[in-house]
Amino acid sequence: MFYKKYGNTDMRVSAVGMGTMRYNDDDISAGNLDKCAEVVLYAHEKGINFFDSAPFYCQDKSEIITGMALSQLKRDSYYISSKVNLGTLDNKSSANAFRRRLEKSLERLKVDYLDFYYLWCMLDMESFKKHYDLLYKHFEKAKSDGLIRHITVSSHMQGNDLEKVVDTGLFDGMLVGYNALNYRFRQAGITAAANKGMGIAVMNPLGGGLIPDNPDTFSYLTEGTDLTVAQAALRFVASHKEITVALAGFTTKEHVDDAVKAVENLKELSAAEIYEEYEQKGIALNNLCTGCAYCDHCPVDIDIPKYMDAYNSKLLGHDMADRIKYHWNIPISKAAECIRCGQCEELCTQHLPITDRLAEIAELS
């Protein structure tokens, strides 16, 4: 296993970490939690020492399963995280509500402290500021009480907003979505975080399954290797010097083996070097929305990035309507409310025909 230094800390973490949101659903429903815990123990045996958990994952059993496994290991042989936001607190922001949620995570994970506690799922600066004002002081108190070691932030922000959060200097690390689809538009954020001395964990390294589901389109990632597309996509992320750990969700031991192989003899490059190497590759991606979300300022409140993600599915030969209805859970009919003001297209870094795509989506309703 390849290990990296986590930001300005003295922690050495595995280049691949386990995201604990992919335990086998059938086993969970049948109450076979021990079988799920075996995957955690196997990952640890293979050198993975970074485990990322959260409330509500896997029918709200993720922390329980993870704790069942980790309690069998020496506490100094792994790092564990969990997450909190107003949603996990039923929109209560009191110190007592925060502490109850934290203590519940600690109890489930069977630990006395968390190595990382994330301010979870910050979607934009408005959300971040609200959560900071209401909750950050509780993080500080929990840290002073020894219940958490590092205050971290989980962000789905795009563009300059991510850099603004980094510049606050409030966090020791961050969790961010990053992959071969969106790297052009997230590099500035991870570079800023690395320069600030933050540890960087990456979620969604396979683009929500879009990359391995389209092996021909993404075959360029495997050039010069004996890796599968999924393995190569994981290696792509882990090879960034700025990135500390790439999180992969494991359902089986075979998934663990795939991830371990992905980082064998890993060679690190800077984000700028990777950009230069891959910029002229993957020409088929030119018409795909990369998820930068600069277009997300619609005057009639259409959630344009989600509809453009669904359009990606069409371009890659999948069902666009299913992506909208079952993945994003938003109405197809909303796309018909577009007033064709053109603002989104002016903001689009790729100059995609967004209004035409919305009109095409609207015809599905």
- The CA distance from 154 to 120, in Å, is 5
Alpha-carbon span 212 to 342, nearest angstrom: 33
Q: Cα separation of 6 and 243, whole Å? A: 9
Give me the pLDDT at residue 97, please. Answer: 97
pLDDT band at 285 (very low <50, low <70, confident <90, very high): low
- pLDDT for position 211: 86
Is residue 350 scored above 90 in pLDDT? no
Q: Which domains does the chain have, with CATH numbers?
A: 3-278 (3.20.20.100), 288-362 (no CATH)
Angstrom distance (rounded) from CA 287 to CA 316: 10
pLDDT at res. 282: 61
- How far apart, in whole angstroms, are the C-alpha atoms of residue 95 and residue 100? 9
Q: Which of 22-31, 66-75, 182-191, 278-287 has the lowest mean pLDDT?
A: 278-287
Amino acid 177: pLDDT: 86
| CA dihedral over 354, 356, 359, 364, signed as positive or negative | negative
